[in-house]
Amino acid sequence: MKKIIFSISILFSAFILKAQTETLLTLRPATNQIISKHIYGHFSEHLGRCIYDGFWVDENSTIPNKGRIRLDIVEALKKIKIPNLRWPGGCFADEYHWRDGIGPRNLRPKMVNTNWGGITEDNSFGTHEFLELCEMLQTEPYIAGNVGSGTVEEMAKWVEYLNFDGVSPMTAIRKQNGREQPWKVSFWGVGNESWGCGGNMTAQYYSDEYRRYATYARDYTGAPLKRIAAGANSADYGWTETCMKNIGTRMWGLTLHHYTIPTGKWNAKGSATNFDEGQYFSTMQNCLKMEELVTKHSTIMDKYDPAKKVALVVDEWGIWTDVEPGTNPGFLYQQNSLRDALIAGTTLNIFNNHSDRVKMANLAQTVNVLQALILTEKDKMILTPTYHVFDLFKVHQDAKYLPIAFVSPDYVSGDKKIPALNVSASQDDKGTIHISLVNLDPSKKINLNTVLEGLNWKTVTGQILTSAKINDVNSFSDPSKIHIVKFNGAKKSGNSLSVELPSQSVVVLELKN
């Protein structure tokens, strides 16, 4: 009898241990909800070395380029299928006057970039150059118009210059400058951060201004605008409430800006590379705040727009640290570590899971600024860990969202805890299923058992991004330290999927029928 009781005790203990160490995921068939490709957008401001000495090289440069646009950057971005590119800012947008950036370059007036470093810009990179870049990237332009220091007429004529295909003063100037056909730019931001650097406006004042500016930003034949209003700073829910109440569905989208600050303090954000696990944990706490922000802003939007006609556009997001030692503090140049890759994967999973309302997002920024995809040093170029996450996650673009249910194990630090696991899933038009998994715990693996209800599949393959340390980086001396490799930790058993997810890792699985 004692032996039977002892055996039962062992079996019960084993069951409890398995329950504690194995997480059950349940995937259900695809809905009609699409994960918009525009969630995977990017942002390039006239800031630091993003445009100048990033995309745009000196006219005498020996770096391979086409019309001064750097070709290795173009090819790298085409590989990850960037769907849109936001320009010229950011704070810079509301001091930028577009006519200064057209016509012969030697005749363009110079300007002072008062927001970022106080440097003098020669305006050699302007409207034509940006739209040529977008054509080379095969991506959609997203232009932010000047509401802060501009005029209604200035914005209206910029739209006409870009999109009108008839006879007018603006089209005549466009043709003189070498562009016969209109570009038909669809995405149009009406101001940026109007609560701050874009004019220090109140929500009521801005929403009235939006209605006025948007009225004269015309839809021309074959070029209807997707007008995007300047939305809230992080948890300013009152701003969203006012804009939804006063603007409603007169806008295509309403923005949200939120940056992950490691320390939570703007005056001492923390290092991009020199951090311990305590600061790593607080960084991930701040990253996961995006889930709460998207949920609460969406709830307010639902009240005024239950049909979800207005998109939530998170057009500035990413980690913001102290600049690299010895660099211009106004240039916002920072390294990019495995921690940043985990932030990127986590944030994109959040957006995917809220794709009923989040239709567009833009990582800040593309080259040499903040959480960059690419860093350059003269003729050298490196792809950051964040770049590789976008390469992994590109399979979700315009795929059908798959609902997923699970209870995450905890990642514990002292008396605090956060979910260790985040996941999103989709099914493409060929029936292939993709599951993206992020384990934030830097020391513990997660064992997963996945049930796919009503989903047919025969094979599973995977790719993983990880490294030995959470603060590992790709450097100019070791550009491939962190890179995508094959993942062998997923196995099929009947119609169930078992996964052993390593610590501090991003994994994307592909299930084919």
| Active site amino acids | 193, 316
Are 143 and 94 spatial neighbours (Cβ–Cβ below 8 Å)? no
Q: What is the rounded CA–CA span in Å between residue 499 and residue 149? A: 54
Task: Provide the token pair at 413.
Answer: 């630090």
Q: What is the rounded CA–CA span in Å between residue 137 and residue 478? A: 27
Residue length, the chain?
513
Strands 226-233 and 187-190: parallel
Nearest to 252 by CA among 226, 224, 222, 214: 226
The angle subtended at Cα 380 by Cα 378 and Cα 386, nearest 5°, is 115
Residues with Cβ within 8 Å of 415's Cβ and at least 6 positions away in sequence, in order, are: none
Enclosing H/E stretch for 510: strand 505-512
Phi, psi values for residue 100, rounded to 5°: -70, -15
Q: What is the rounded CA–CA span in Å between residue 341 and residue 474? A: 12
Strands 41-43 and 84-87: parallel
Task: Provide the token pair at 217.
Answer: 């930003």
Nearest to 257 by CA among 314, 298, 200, 199: 314
Are 147 and 189 spatial neighbours (Cβ–Cβ below 8 Å)? no
Strands 253-260 and 226-233: parallel
Task: Provide the token pair at 263.
Answer: 């320390």
Are 314 and 255 spatial neighbours (Cβ–Cβ below 8 Å)? yes
Bond preceding residue 90 cis, omega within 30 of 0: yes
- DSSP-assigned letters across all residues of 239-305: HHHHHHHHTGGGSSEEEEEEEE-SSS-TTS---SS---HHHHHHHHHHHHHHHHHHHHHHHHHHHH-
Q: What is the rounded CA–CA span in Å between residue 373 and residue 375? A: 7
Nearest to 300 by CA among 353, 350, 362, 236: 236
